[in-house]
Amino acid sequence: RHDAIDVVEVYDSFTITVLLTLEALGFCKRGEGGAFVANQRTAPGGVFPLNTNGGGLSYAHPGMYGIFLLIEAVRQLRGECGPRQIQDAVTALVHGTGGTLSSGATCILSTR
């Protein structure tokens, strides 16, 4: 269930990648990704915690960013994120894409 996810970490190789991923994962309908993230919804303190470390485009992008998605999700679930901590985070979804967006993998982590 989408409402059971407390924090979402997705590979953001390009801005459009995030929108396409949110649509493909069913958080919003196809073509509605832009509206879904509008009005600071995914910004720090927003109602949809997304890429809480700032994402690869602002945090770091070493070319193999996927492991950083997992690390951030685990840190969120452990309560180790200081000012960017999502309060009471229990479940995290991590999704990465590879190739020319030709492959993907999703992992759901939980403290329960």
- Is the torsion defined by CA of 17, 44, 7, 85 positive or negative? positive
Catalytic residue among 25, 48, 57, 59: 59
Catalytic residue among 6, 8, 11, 89: 11
For 107, residues 6+ apart whose C-beta sits below 8 A from its C-beta are: 70, 73, 93, 94, 95
Tell me whether residue 65 is one of the annotated catalytic residues: no
C-alpha span between 74 and 97 (Å, rounded): 19
How many other CB atoms sit within 10 Å of the CB of residue 66? 17
Tell me whether residue 11 is one of the annotated catalytic residues: yes
Residues serving a catalytic function are 11, 59
